[in-house]
């Protein structure tokens, strides 16, 4: 516990808070731009069990922002390498890597043993799948998404709060929203948003501060402006998601990344 | 009436600016969207949310603020 003395010194955390952190199980889906800083901070904080889902392999252009990886990691699986890099930083916690794509056939199985899910993916197909699986399993999930110099942040399905579909019921059409490869991204942007996600995870576990439920925060790094927009729950839609089978959305934004090379 | 519109994400590229002051005869958000789609036809193809007074509104809502934010979903990560 000496390791976490700076947490324990905070009256809002204390020994009990650090114990809660060590008992929590967090699943991170996506070990890329957002996942890297998030995973580093969750590991440093001592989250007891961390799961990492990512089918992708590390490519050169990833190194501009995916700060968990090194040059010698190129072409290796992101989840497996993330696990290795994180273990070197904290050997006391349990880390499991799932070097697979999240799908309708494995999502419920993988998510069910975790307390909190973090969406660090880069496409709408995955995001809607995560939403629907979390709604079905009644898990909160911490969301962030980025575009060039801007980010969006929220916590969905937390303590009866609204979900991603309450905000955006339907996915956009294919090609409507470019991904980072097409649009470009300032490397530090996911660095900041991923850290914000780690902050929300810790607030949920420790039950301190105001968890960003029912609010979408919009961040602009060029202007340093931050705005918060409230939104409501769509109860009939939530009910529909619970009742229907987990399915892939028909239309997706970027080309499915495991079908293309970076 | 005069309204300041603030755009986010890809909308900035579609509209060509991040903010503008417009004079529009719109009572509801729906009428504002119709005006926008007429001014910027490319917006018709995009999903977007409209917020006023720091809350996301429904299209039936009356315009009650001189500052309106319009944003698309982001997906990058």
Looking at residue A1, what is its pLDDT? 83
- B39-56 mean pLDDT: 93
Share of chain A above pLDDT 90, in %: 88
Residue of A nearest to B52 (CA): A229
Contact at CB, A228 and B56, closer than 8 angstroms: no
Looking at residue A128, what is its pLDDT? 96
Full-model pTM: 0.94
Question: What's the mean per-residue pLDDT of chain B?
Answer: 94
Interface list for A 188-247 with B (CB within 8 A): 190, 216, 218, 220, 227-232
Distance of CA A138 to the CA centre of its chain: 16
Contact at CB, A229 and B54, closer than 8 angstroms: yes
Per-residue pLDDT tens over the stretch A96-118: 999 999 999 999 999 999 999 99
- A33-56 mean pLDDT: 98
Looking at residue A179, what is its pLDDT? 67
Residue of B nearest to A217 (CA): B54
Give dist(CA A127, CA A120) in Å, integer.
9
What is the b/e burial string over A104-117, where b = at least 16 CB atoms within 10 angstroms of the residue's CB?
eeebeebbeebbbb
Interface list for A 99-158 with B (CB within 8 A): 119-124, 127, 144-148, 150-152
The answer on pLDDT for A254 being more than 60 is no
Question: What's the mean per-residue pLDDT of chain A?
Answer: 93
Give the count of Cβ contacts less than 8 A between chain A and B. 94
Looking at residue B67, what is its pLDDT? 96
Spell out the domains of chain B, with CATH numbers in brackets. Answer: 2-71 (3.10.20.30)
Model confidence at B45, pLDDT cuts 50, 70, 90, reads confident
Query: Distance between the two ends of chain B, CA-based, in angstroms?
Result: 39
The answer on pLDDT for B26 being more than 70 is yes
Looking at residue A257, what is its pLDDT? 39
User: Residue A118: which of A78, A153, A72 has the closest Cα?
Assistant: A153
Per-residue pLDDT tens over the stretch A172-184: 877 676 666 778 9
Between residues A178 and A90, the one the model is more confident about: A90
Residue of B nearest to A127 (CA): B75
A124 neighbourhood in chain B, CB within 8 Å: 73, 75
φ, ψ dihedrals at B59, nearest 5°: -60, -25
The answer on pLDDT for B41 being more than 70 is yes
């Amino acid at each position: 516990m000496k390791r976490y003395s700076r947490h324990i010194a905070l009256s809002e955390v204390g020994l009990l808070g650090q114990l809660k952190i060590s008992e929590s199980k967090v699943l991170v889906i996506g070990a890329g731009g957002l996942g890297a800083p998030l995973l580093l901070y969750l590991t440093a904080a001592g989250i007891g069990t961390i799961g990492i889902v990512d089918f992708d392999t590390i490519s050169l252009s990833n190194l501009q922002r995916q700060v968990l990886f090194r040059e010698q990691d190129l072409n290796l699986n992101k989840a497996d390498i993330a696990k290795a890099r994180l273990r070197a930083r904290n050997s006391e916690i349990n880390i499991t890597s799932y070097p697979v794509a999240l799908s309708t056939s494995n999502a419920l199985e993988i998510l069910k043993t975790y307390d909190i899910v973090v969406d660090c993916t880069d496409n709408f197909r995955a995001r809607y799948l995560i939403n629907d699986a979390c709604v079905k399993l009644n898990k909160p999930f911490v969301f962030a998404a980025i575009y060039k110099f801007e980010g969006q942040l929220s916590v969905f399905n937390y303590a009866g709060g609204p979900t991603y579909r309450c905000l955006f019921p339907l996915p956009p059409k294919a090609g409507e929203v470019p991904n980072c490869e097409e649009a470009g991204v300032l490397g530090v942007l996911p660095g900041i948003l991923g850290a914000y996600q780690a902050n929300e995870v810790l607030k949920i576990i420790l039950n301190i501060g105001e968890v960003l439920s029912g609010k979408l925060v919009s961040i602009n790094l060029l202007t340093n402006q931050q705005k918060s927009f409230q939104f409501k729950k769509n109860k009939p839609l939530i009910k529909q998601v619970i009742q229907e089978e987990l399915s892939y959305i028909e239309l997706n934004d970027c080309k499915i990344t495991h079908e293309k090379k970076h | 009436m005069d309204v300041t519109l603030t755009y986010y994400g890809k909308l900035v590229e579609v509209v060509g600016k991040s903010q503008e002051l417009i004079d529009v005869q719109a009572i509801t958000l729906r009428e504002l969207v119709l005006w926008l789609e007429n001014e910027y036809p490319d917006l018709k193809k995009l999903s977007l949310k409209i917020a006023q007074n720091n809350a996301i509104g429904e299209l039936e809502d009356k315009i009650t603020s001189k500052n309106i934010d319009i944003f698309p979903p982001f997906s990058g990560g």
